[in-house]
Amino acid sequence: MAGRTIGIIMIVFAVVLVVVMTGFLLAGTLTQGKAVTPAAFMLCDGPTILLALVIAGAGIYMLLSGKKEQAEQIEVEKEKLILNMIDTRGKIKISEVAIEMNITANQVSFYIYDLVGKKLFTGYVDWKGGTLQSIEASKIPEHNCPNCGGQVELAGKGVVKCPYCGSEIFLK
């Protein structure tokens, strides 16, 4: 948010700088009664315009990076909301998360995998049943699925999968 604000301020400052310096140049020539020659304009206003272009360019960069920063912050807030839903309810259906957040179930899955990758979510996902459950890693039986009791298999780094019900258990 700060990047956008600074970018807008820089762009406005650059425009005001050019307008003010051009106004001074024109006011000086009007009082003398002479027309502004291109050489005089370039000597007086040229450096100002160059400086204003640099400031405006930096302002545009800040504005665009501020928009990117804002979009990333929105994604972080969505992930925090999902974690809070799981933590407060203990168990929640993916469809409920999707409806409450006004996103698709695929987007919820994307956020869950992102949270797992960041090591922020531990628990398990029953993809067939469509539920998310937050449980501490110490409460997960080493060889049995907490959803159906079947024998689980290592599916990846920090991931155990039940071949029977499709639940995935994410460990820290």
- Sign of torsion over alpha carbons 46, 47, 48, 53: positive
Residue 87 pLDDT grade (very low, low, confident, very high; cuts 50, 70, 90): confident
Other C-beta atoms lying within 10 Å of the C-beta of residue 161: 19
For residue range 134-161, list pLDDT tens digits in order.
765 446 556 788 888 888 876 666 677 8
Task: State how beta strands 167-170 and 131-134 pair.
Answer: unpaired
Is residue 103 over pLDDT 50? Answer: yes
Q: Among candidates 74, 68, 54, 58, which has minimal Cα distance to 6?
A: 58
What pLDDT score does 107 carry? 94
H or E element that contains 125: strand 123-126
| The pLDDT of residue 138 | 47
**pLDDT mean over 86-96:** 83
14 or 123, which is more confident:
14
Distances (CA, A) of 9 to 4, 13, 21, 55, 93: 9, 6, 18, 10, 45
Distance, CA of 112 to CA of 171 (rounded, Å):
13
Lowest mean pLDDT among 7-11, 91-95, 166-170: 166-170
pLDDT the model gives residue 137: 45
Burial class of residue 8 (count of CB atoms within 10 Å of its CB; 0-12, 13-18, 19+): middle
Q: Rounded mean pLDDT of 83-91?
A: 80
Q: Nearest CA to 93 among 108, 81, 78?
A: 108
- Give the amino acid at 161: K
pLDDT at 124 over 70: yes
User: What confidence score (pLDDT) does residue 36 get?
Assistant: 66
Range with the lowest mean pLDDT among 94-103, 120-129, 142-151?
A: 142-151
Render pLDDT for 25-84 as a digit per residue (tens, 0 to 9). 777 666 666 766 677 666 667 788 888 889 999 999 998 888 888 888 999 999 999 988
Residue 144 pLDDT: 81
Check residue 118 and give left, alpha or beta (phi > 0: left; psi -120 to 50: alpha): alpha
